[in-house]
Amino acid sequence: MRRDAAPPHAGAGRARVERPAPDSPERSAEVDAGLAALAGALDGLRPDQRICWVLRELEGLGYAEIAAVTGASEDAVRGRIHRARVQLAEVMKPWR
């Protein structure tokens, strides 16, 4: 989806965001750089957080399933995923 301008309900002070066409080399390079940044951010997580995040966000497992796979309690899994999301959101801010 191409976003050339802020939605009509957005504030008047918002700047127009120009994005390359979805099939352009510029967009491909932008996506590659974003994926590299995400890979680096994932590498920065503690291993227990990364495992829980990957199982939840990429594999689609539920908290109970992740707890069974990792041997951790559901509360521990929820905490690990929460901390991973907070850390990833902070590291990926420039890519929003």
pLDDT in tens, 70-88: 999 999 999 999 999 999 9
Q: Rounded to 5 degrees, what angle do the CA atoms 6, 4, 8 make? A: 30
Q: What CATH number is given to the structural domain containing 68?
A: 1.10.10.10
Domain count, the chain: 1
Residue 30 lies in a domain: no
Q: Provide CB contacts within 8 A for 27, sequence distance 6+.
A: 19, 20, 21
* Entry pTM: 0.69
Residue 17 lies in a domain: no
Residue 58 lies in a domain: yes
Residue 14 lies in a domain: no
Considering Cα of 28, then 29, then 34, then 36, what sign does the dihedral take?
Answer: positive
Residue 73 lies in a domain: yes
DSSP-derived letter for residue 16 is P
Q: What is the span of the domain harbouring residue 80?
A: 46-96
pLDDT tens-digit readout, 23-67: 788 888 888 888 898 899 999 999 999 999 999 999 999 999 999
